[in-house]
Amino acid sequence: MTCRLMVLSSQLAFKSLPRMFTTSAVRFSKEEGFPDPLDLATGIEKKEMLLRLAGNDDPYNLKAIKRGVSTIDKPTEIPSAFEARIVGCVCEEDASHVKWMWLHSGEPKRCMCGHWFKLVYKEPLI
């Protein structure tokens, strides 16, 4: 009896819930499908998509840069659109931490491990 009451009460509870749905003003026909995201994008998002299509898979220079010789005469160049950038150096291959440091424009900087870094200007996306 208790079990039957619980089933009935749960049926009533689910029946009384209002249906939630949203609508959109944009409609697409089945023949055309969803439009190309490039056509919908604007501003910096569109510029980023165009750069990626042109072959630049790192438009914000966020990928890790492999150190070269990294001497004072030939430092590892770090691109930036600003006057300074935070750089992380993994000093040793097996290191479990990153040595973070500020790198300022016009001032090559030496990490504690001996590698040199230099900030080079790069045009911003906008």
* Binding-site residue positions: 89, 91, 111, 113
Q: Does 87 bind Zn ion (CB under 5 A)?
A: no
SS3 72: coil
Q: What is the closest distance, in whole angstroms, from the C-beta atom of residue 23 to Zn ion in the complex?
A: 56
Q: Does 89 bind Zn ion (CB under 5 A)?
A: yes
Q: Does 98 bind Zn ion (CB under 5 A)?
A: no
> 72, 98, 113, 120: which one contacts Zn ion (CB under 5 A)?
113
User: Taking the chain, what is the end-to-end CA distance rounded to the nearest angstrom?
Assistant: 70
Q: Does 91 bind Zn ion (CB under 5 A)?
A: yes
Q: Does 111 bind Zn ion (CB under 5 A)?
A: yes
C-alpha distances (whole Å) from 56 to each of 51, 53, 79, 123 are 5, 7, 14, 14
Tokens coding 55: 């072959």
